A and B are shown apart, each in its own frame.
Chain A
Amino acid sequence: MLVSIYRYNPEVDDAPYMQDVQVDLPEGKDLMVLDVLNLMKDKDPSVSYRRSCREGVCGSDGMNMNGKNGLACITPMSAVLKNDKLVLRPLPGLPVVRDLVVDMGQFYKQYEKIRPYLINDTPAPAIERLQSPEEREKLDGLYECILCACCSTACPSFWWNPDKFVGPSGLLQAYRFLIDSRDNATQERLSELDDPFSVFRCHGIMNCVNVCPKGLNPTKAIGSIRTMLLQRAT
């Protein structure tokens, strides 16, 4: 099978290029894309990519496979293959460090901006801050995000303004803390988001929902943030 892979080593190459590699796949097995990459790396150790848990939990191996972002470790070949060809590229929109490895700095900066931790200035109880099952339920569909960056790098608004638009991943996390009953910085958090870029650069095209390997819905979370802002200001 033919795999076309994005290659770029800034120490050697003047410009990135696509390398066609013939990979022999074992018969009768539906390998994951990561397995194919491992086969390629066995032949050519200079092929670079990130990977760790190989089961869709760590979020290291986010990449663009035949035009769609996803985690290589949980994407079966049968799901991405087009005309018996696989095209592998790094996540779009972020600077490439080498081959499929991207610099996630800008992505993390946006994550840091939304202050992804509980803020509560009331005295801490002896053991822990309790939540009712209903309050806890509100975090479902939000806390599962593994920060793989598949969504934000599939979003044109993030491509054009990665320094100003928080991006789907960061906003999903922002809502996760806005809706948490144990957090009492809701007003402060909302004030930080009420500008024309941070939230409102989202035009609801739902690329993020389309690619999220965990099946989450950042567009819905962004809609909820808008509703919270609207309720506060009208």
Chain B
Amino acid sequence: MVTQITSFGRSGLYDWMVQRVSAIVLSLYTVFILGYLVMNPELTYDQWSALFEATWMRIFTLMTLLSIGVHSWIGLWSISTDYLKATGVRFFFQSLCGLAMFVYITWGIQVLWGL
């Protein structure tokens, strides 16, 4: 058993499962948005804003935002433990990734409720 405290869920199985579930959410959202844009070639601001005012869309979008956060955290954490061998550099990189994800999620929520 290898001990880890900086991985997302401390357990390999949990991280692996979250990675896959978040990937499904991300692909569903991508397909939905692309489909919506294709179905509405003459999209207006009112239409777009009405879409994001709907509660289900906000739930779906927030879920996607959180999925981006955890998915990239698990992925970048893996990359950092593969390639960054100096503990200080690795921890700095991981902290930077954590900060970026937190900023993106907070900013995303602001945008989502501001539209």
| Residue contact A196 to B1, C-beta cutoff 8 Å | no
A207 at the interface (CB under 8 A from B): no
Interface stretch of the complex, out of B3-11, B41-49, B107-115: B3-11
Kindly provide the distance from the CB of B84 to the nearest chain A CB, expressed in whole angstroms: 10
Question: In the complex where A164-B2, A230-B17 touch, is A195 in contact with B12 (Cβ < 8 A)?
Answer: yes
Question: In the complex where A164-B2, A194-B1, A195-B2 touch, is A200 in contact with B83 (Cβ < 8 A)?
Answer: no
B61 at the interface (CB under 8 A from A): no
Residue of A nearest to B3 (CB): A195
Kindly provide the distance from the CB of A20 to the nearest chain B CB, expressed in whole angstroms: 33
User: Which of A161, A191, A192 contacts B82 (CB under 8 A)?
Assistant: A161
Interfacial residues of chain A within 188-234, with CB under 8 A of chain B in the complex: 191-201, 226, 229-230, 233
Chain B hits for A161, CB < 8 A: 81-82
| Residue contact B83 to A160, C-beta cutoff 8 Å | yes
Kindly provide the distance from the CB of B52 to the nearest chain A CB, expressed in whole angstroms: 34
Kindly provide the distance from the CB of A115 to the nearest chain B CB, expressed in whole angstroms: 12
Bound-state Cα–Cα, A195 to B1, Å:
6
| Residue contact A157 to B2, C-beta cutoff 8 Å | no
Chain A hits for B15, CB < 8 A: 196, 200
Interface centre among B13, B16, B81 (most CB of A within 10 A): B13
Q: Interface range on chain A: under 10, 10 to 19, 20 to 34, or 35 or more?
A: 20 to 34
User: Which of B2, B13, B17, B83 contacts A197 (CB under 8 A)?
Assistant: B2
Chain A hits for B10, CB < 8 A: 196
| Residue contact A196 to B11, C-beta cutoff 8 Å | yes
Kindly provide the distance from the CB of B89 to the nearest chain A CB, expressed in whole angstroms: 15
Interface centre among B10, B15, B78 (most CB of A within 10 A): B78
Residue of B nearest to A190 (CB): B13
Chain A hits for B4, CB < 8 A: 195-197
Interfacial residues of chain A within 129-168, with CB under 8 A of chain B in the complex: 156-157, 160-161, 164
Question: In the complex where A226-B16, A230-B13 touch, is A196 in contact with B2 (Cβ < 8 A)?
Answer: yes
Question: In the complex where A194-B1, A230-B17 touch, is A199 in contact with B12 (Cβ < 8 A)?
Answer: yes
Which residues of B come within 8 Å of A, CB atoms?
A: 1-4, 7, 10-13, 15-17, 78, 81-83
Could you give 26 example pairs across A and B, Cβ below 8 Å? Answer: A157-B82, A160-B81, A160-B82, A160-B83, A161-B82, A164-B2, A192-B1, A193-B1, A193-B12, A194-B1, A194-B11, A194-B12, A195-B4, A196-B2, A196-B10, A196-B11, A196-B15, A197-B4, A198-B1, A198-B2, A200-B15, A200-B16, A226-B13, A229-B13, A230-B13, A230-B17
